[in-house]
Amino acid sequence: MPGAALRRIAEAIDAGREVLEVAREELGRVDGLPPSVLGRLYELEQRRMRWKAAAQEITARRARDGLPALPDALLREMATPTALEALDRAARLAPSATAIELREYVAIWDACFQLARRDGELRITAATEDAAAVAEFEDLLGRAEAPAALPAHRWLAARRAERLGVVRLEFRWPTEAMHDRIRAVTLKLSRDETNRTPEQLCELLVLRDLEPALRRHLDERSEGEALTAAAGAYAALFRIPPVIATRLGAIFFGRGPRPVSWVVADGGGAALESGTDAGVADDWAAALVARLQAAGIEVLVLPASSPAVDRLRDVERAAEGKLPIVRIPTAAMREAKAALGGPDLELPSSQAAALILARRALDPVGMFSAVDPASLGLAEYQHDLDPERVSRYLRTARGLAELEAQRAAAVKAAGKGTPADGVSPARPPTPPGGVSPTEPLGSRPVLSLSTISSIDDLRPGMILQGTITTLTQFGAFVNLGLRQEGLVHVSEMADHRVAQAADVVRPGQQVRVRVVDVDRSRNRISLSLRLQDTRGPRSPAAGTRAKAAVLRELDKFFKK
């Protein structure tokens, strides 16, 4: 990779410039870096800056303590801020150690840190007798897992529960293995260790900083994974195909017994008619659908999900076979309504919400771009993350993707084909069993809404029609028209490995799903996009019961 380009990027980051600003400039350069590569370089350069800040802090601290500065060459050998801290501790423990000996101390730290990640245990126990508080995190309790095997969502949940004073996190270390590692290199250490046992050195060099370092590592890894998954979900919103219609209707459902509001809009999103229905008459849903049909609508827009499950279901049944239905996510509705102006300001709140749904159906890119990405609630445990960081990360991810698409289009137009490092728009992969995101429902027998009215009606193997409501790091939630949403784990989206749900589905998309497992006692529904299980026999440990248990656990931790 050109050295001049790398120097430009480093200087830009050191100057505090935003990645999108630099990416636009690079796009116009002959030797410019592709946006996809630039995004990764920014991450690496920012990591270098964190390392640089840690090195400067250690140098300043040693100066304050009257200690000699560590050689720059030795500092540069340390790969991470935690390794820098280990080097400083080693130099304090063994003032007469040579550079070669100090490297051995840091190697001990690195080896013990990896042992702690791989063979250590995190135990989670209740820290309060408040049964109601504990109930929310009951699936965390009693666990003992290696930190390296801990899923990101579980660590985020455990950290939240700890901050609330509900659970206690206790790390247990493989100290015997650590002591053995120290004994193996005793002869390579400084003469300062003559009177110090392996146990003492382990305590002073490793254990004093091990838990804070491992917590920082788990925090950074989990938050990074949550942001990456959120970026995928954000990008999926912009893949919602726009509705093309001269007139469409949209219905919004308030919580509980609140009335149902509706709007009729033209193809440009202007409200033509609007109203509110009490929703109490026996045939209110059929009457409302008939009224909208009489207004000449070509498409009916409904929320992808709603707390008023029964009312949404009534309208779906009434419109079935009469009108094409489009489902649209309702996230950040308050922020979207705040941006309304002109005559729209006079609409009652719920009617304004219906208008927002109609406009999102007509122009998903424009409407979802108009709200702060952080307000969409796309990241798991988002209220535990910095909102500004979430917003900046999502806007940056989307901007880089758009620039990469522009670059790919320009290269293709120039007759050079698709660049190897580019990201060309592609049709999402088709999951096995014929479930394509762009394929109309049909061909396979799908149980109608009138057949399924509660979770008690579900049986493993049933094929149902549903709507994708939320994408997560580990899968997608599906509205089946019941009070409980089902969960499709990423491993149940295709026969091949799927990195994230956003690679296969998008919010508001109608899909056919197979019921994998139903846990009625906990109101958990495990689903699959694989309408036929073509992967062959699996061991009981990897079978549907084990998979369903995982899905139930994940469902518990995701906060919608």
Contact 514, 465 (CB under 8 A): no
- So what's the pLDDT on residue 401? 79
Closest CA to 340 of 367, 361, 364: 367
What would the pLDDT profile of 134-150 be if each residue is shown by its tens digit? Answer: 988 988 998 889 999 99
Contact 208, 112 (CB under 8 A): no
- So what's the pLDDT on residue 534? 61
Give whole-number Cα distances, 449 to 126, 303, 438, 443, 446, in Å. 42, 16, 22, 17, 9
End-to-end CA distance of the chain: give it in Å, rounded. 43
> Taken in order 139, 145, 149, 152, is the CA torsion positive or negative?
positive
Q: What is the CATH number of domain 247-362?
A: 3.30.420.140
- So what's the pLDDT on residue 104? 94
Residue matched to tokens 């999108």 = 20
Give whole-number Cα distances, 114 to 172, 188, 222, 258, in Å. 14, 20, 17, 56
Q: Where are the alpha helices (DSSP H) in 320-386?
A: 333-338, 349-362, 364-369
- So what's the pLDDT on residue 125? 95
Q: What does the chain come to in residues?
A: 560
Contact 527, 465 (CB under 8 A): no
What would the pLDDT profile of 249-261 be if each residue is shown by its tens digit? Answer: 999 998 877 889 9
Question: Which backbone phi and psi does 83 adopt, to 5 degrees?
Answer: -65, -35
| HEC assignment per residue over 167-200 | EEEEEECCHHHHHHHHHHCHHHCCHHHCCCCHHH
- So what's the pLDDT on residue 187? 81
Ranges of each domain in the chain: 1-66+386-426, 247-362, 455-557
Which percentage of the chain shows pLDDT scores above 70?
88
Q: What is the pTM of this model?
A: 0.76
- So what's the pLDDT on residue 474? 82
247-362 and 455-557 in the same fold:
no
- Pick out the chain residues at pLDDT < 70: 1-2, 415-451, 533-560
Question: Which backbone phi and psi does 330 adopt, to 5 degrees?
Answer: -105, 10
| Pairing state between β 271-277 and 463-471 | unpaired
Closest CA to 353 of 417, 274, 287, 434: 274
Closest CA to 242 of 263, 271, 269: 269
Burial class for 242, CB neighbours closer than 10 Å (0-12, 13-18, 19+): middle
- So what's the pLDDT on residue 192? 74
Give whole-number Cα distances, 274 to 277, 305, 467, 546, in Å. 10, 21, 26, 49
- So what's the pLDDT on residue 231? 87
Instruction: Select 455-557's CATH number: 2.40.50.140, 3.40.50.150, 3.20.20.140, 3.40.190.10.
Output: 2.40.50.140
Angle between helices 208-237 and 387-413 (to 10 degrees): 50
Non-local (6+) Cβ contacts of 368 within 8 A are: 237, 238, 360, 376
Closest CA to 292 of 275, 279, 304, 305: 275
Give whole-number Cα distances, 377 to 231, 381, 424, 475, in Å. 11, 9, 27, 16
- So what's the pLDDT on residue 542? 41
